[in-house]
Each structure stands twice: as C-alpha cells, then as structure tokens.
Amino acid sequence: MAGHSKWANIRHKKGAADAKRGKIFTRLIKEITVAARIGGGDPNSNPRLRCAIAAAKAENMPKDNIERGIKKGTGELEGVNYEESNYEGYGPGGVAILIESLSDNKNRTVSEVRHILTKYGGSMGESGSVAWIFEQKGYVVIEKGLVDEEKLMEVALDAGAEDVREDGDNFEVITAPSDFEDIKQVIEESGIGHTVAEVTMLPKNITAVDGETAEKLFRLIDMLEDCDDVQKVHTNADIPDDLMM
C-alpha cells in the first residue's frame, strides 16, 4: 500500500522505545511460546518459531530467554497458556483495523480492545468484516539510498520474491510467508541492508486519511499497541508523507 514502508518504519522506531520498557520482549516471548506449543520446539521444522526466534535475536534477546520461551511452549517448563485471537474494527475515517492478540483471558482482551476502539474514535467490527482486506506476506523494506535498484531486483526475484516495488524513499520486497526467511537471508548475504524485515499482514486496498483524522488514528493505534494482550495492529490507512515524519 502507498506509504506502508514509512508506516512500518515508524512502528519499528516505536518498537525500539518499547524495548527500553521491556514490552517488546514480553510480546516476543509470547509469540515464541505459542509457536513452540503449536508447531513444536524445533525451529528447523517450525517456520513460525523460526521467524519468532529471528525477531527475538534482532532485538538482542538473550539466548536463555528464547530457550525458556520454547520450553514453556513445549511443556518442559510451566507457563501461561496463551490463546490467539484476532479482532476486527474500524478507525477514524473508516480505515480497516486488524488486531492480533495473545491472551490468557479472552474476555478481558475483547473488553479492553472494544473499550479502546470506542474511546478513541473507532468501533468494533464483526468477524470477517475487515480480515478479507489483509493478506499475510513476508515484507522487507530497504532505503533507496542503500541499494542499486537493478541489484535488488536481481537478488530478490532470483531468490523467489513475489515482487519488488517502490514506495516513496523505499523499496519493498514482498514474499510468500514460507519463503521469507530464505529470501531475507539471501538479501543480507548480498550486503543489502534493510530497515524492516517481518512476516506481516499487508492490505490489498487502502483508505486515505489526512489532517486531524490521521492524528486521531495515530492515537488510537498507540493505545491499542499499549494494551498488554495486543501483539500487532494492522491498518489499511494511506497517510500523507508530511504526517508520517
């Protein structure tokens, strides 16, 4: 979507601030635990766990923390039983919002999410109301000044990427989720640095917002992301460059 790479960069900068408060470690451990519970503790045969471990290492999570998270998921250590839930809704300007959560109490989570949406100019949607707008993809963002376009196209597409496209000052590499880790590794081994690399939900269509509406949306997403049970928040908002700074 237009402006998505800038939005992703903003989220990752916010993630750096969250890391200082330990919040990002909590989210990563939850994901590692659930991934290990669902698919087993061997990252070689569990793509979701492999991605979760890679994300944890990117945030400099200690190896012992990662191993404890895996063991809690496989039952070798006692741990909280987190359940996955997705919530759908609308934000200011009618933008679609998809909220991923991991929680030990779904009733608490849905109540908190509904409260935040209502308080900050959004509304809760029914199941399926906006999920169709998003599709899971591997996603790598590279600043234009850090790479030659032809080299990036050659490296990424030869490695099996679905698409390489421009977005303002960035290039975006889009992959199938199952190919993400391999393609990211090829890009890194080619000496191409990236600012964002993740498996995420990308919107298939966008809703333009600006001015006061965009500011209200920022506030709503900040409050949702500050909810302890929320893992990720996705939106199809297209926001002007001057409001993304």
Listed range (2-6, 39-43, 113-117) with the worst mean pLDDT: 2-6
Instruction: Please indicate, yes or no, if residue 59 is contained in any of the structural domains.
Output: yes
pLDDT digit string, tens, across residues 49-105: 998 998 898 888 999 999 999 999 999 999 889 999 999 999 999 999 999 999 999
Query: Is 90 exceeded by the pLDDT of residue 189?
Result: yes
Instruction: Please indicate, yes or no, if residue 25 is contained in any of the structural domains.
Output: yes
Query: Is 70 exceeded by the pLDDT of residue 13?
Result: no
Instruction: Please indicate, yes or no, if residue 186 is contained in any of the structural domains.
Output: no
Query: Is 60 exceeded by the pLDDT of residue 244?
Result: no
Q: Answer for the pair 7, 239: CB distance below 8 angstroms, yes or no.
A: yes
The string of DSSP letters for the chain reads: -TTHHHHHHHHHHHHHHHHHTTHHHHHHHHHHHHHHHHH-S-GGG-HHHHHHHHHHHHTT--HHHHHHHHHHHHTSS-----EEEEEEEE-GGG-EEEEEEEES-HHHHHHHHHHHHHHTT-EE--TTSSGGGEEEEEEEEEEGGGS-HHHHHHHHHHTT-SEEEEETTEEEEEE-GGGHHHHHHHHHHTT---SEEEEEEEESS-EE--HHHHHHHHHHHHHHHTSTTEEEEEE-EE--GGG--
Res 85: pLDDT: 95
Res 243: pLDDT: 55
Q: Greatest CA separation found in the chain?
A: 51
- Total tally of structural domains belonging to the chain: 1
Res 1: pLDDT: 46
pLDDT digit string, tens, across residues 24-55: 889 999 999 999 999 999 999 999 999 899 88
- Least Cα distance to 58 among 164, 169, 231, 184 occurs for 184
Instruction: Please indicate, yes or no, if residue 137 is contained in any of the structural domains.
Output: no
Confidence of residue 241 (pLDDT cuts 50, 70, 90): low
Confidence of residue 115 (pLDDT cuts 50, 70, 90): very high
Query: Is 70 exceeded by the pLDDT of residue 10?
Result: no
Chain mean position to CA 214? 20
Res 20: pLDDT: 52
Res 151: pLDDT: 94
Instruction: Please indicate, yes or no, if residue 37 is contained in any of the structural domains.
Output: yes
Res 50: pLDDT: 92
Res 236: pLDDT: 93
Instruction: Please indicate, yes or no, if residue 23 is contained in any of the structural domains.
Output: yes
Res 168: pLDDT: 82
Res 67: pLDDT: 96
Full domain range(s) for residue 30: 4-74
Q: Answer for the pair 64, 37: CB distance below 8 angstroms, yes or no.
A: no
Listed range (7-11, 58-62, 114-118, 137-141) with the worst mean pLDDT: 7-11
**DSSP-assigned beta bridge partners for residue 134:** 203
Instruction: Please indicate, yes or no, if residue 56 is contained in any of the structural domains.
Output: yes
The CATH number of residue 53's host domain is 1.10.10.200
Rounded to an integer, the average pLDDT of 115-126 is 96
Res 16: pLDDT: 54
pLDDT digit string, tens, across residues 128-179: 999 999 999 999 999 998 899 999 999 999 999 999 999 888 999 999 998 9
Instruction: Please indicate, yes or no, if residue 179 is contained in any of the structural domains.
Output: no
